[in-house]
Amino acid sequence: MSDRYCVFGHPVGHSKSPRIHTVFAEQTGESLRYEAIEAPLDDFAGAWRAFVAEGGRGANVTVPFKEQAYRLADVLSPRAQRAGAVNTLMVGKHERVYGDTTDGVGLVRDLQAHAAPLEGARILVLGAGGAVRGILEPLLAANPAALMIANRTAAKAERLASDFADLGETTGGGFDAVVGTFDLVINGTSASLGGELPPLPDELFADGALAYDMMYGAEPTVFLRWAAKRGARTVDGLGMLVEQAAESFFLWRNKRPDTAAVREMLRRSR
User: CA-CA distance, 157 to 151, in Å (whole number)?
Assistant: 6
CB atoms under 10 Å from CB of 114, counted, come to 12
Residues 83, 183 share a domain: no
User: CA-CA distance, 116 to 108, in Å (whole number)?
Assistant: 9
Residues 232, 139 share a domain: yes
- Residue 142 annotated as part of some ligand binding site: no
Residues 232, 109 share a domain: yes
CATH number at residue 189: 3.40.50.720
Average pLDDT, the chain: 95
Question: Could you tell me the pTM of the whole model?
Answer: 0.93
**Active site annotation includes 66:** yes
Residues 126, 75 share a domain: no
In degrees and rounded to multiples of 5, residue 240 shows phi and psi of -60, -40
Outline where DSSP puts E strands in the chain. Answer: 3-9, 32-38, 56-61, 75-76, 88-91, 97-100, 122-126, 146-151, 170-174, 182-187, 205-213, 233-235
- Residue 34 annotated as part of some ligand binding site: no
- Residue 129 annotated as part of some ligand binding site: yes
Residues 46, 63 share a domain: yes
Q: Each residue of 48-73: b (16+ CB within 10 Å) or e? A: beebbeeebbbbbbbeebbbbbbebb
What is the tens place of the pLDDT at every residue in 209-249? 999 999 988 899 999 999 999 999 999 999 999 999 999 99
Residues 198, 112 share a domain: yes
- How many domains are there within the chain? 2
What is the tens place of the pLDDT at every residue in 204-216? 999 999 999 999 8
Residue span of the structural domain in which 165 resides: 104-236
Radius of gyration from C-alpha coordinates of the chain: 18
Residues 249, 201 share a domain: no
Residues 111, 204 share a domain: yes
pLDDT exceeds cutoff 90 at 145: yes
Residues 75, 122 share a domain: no
Residues 77, 63 share a domain: yes
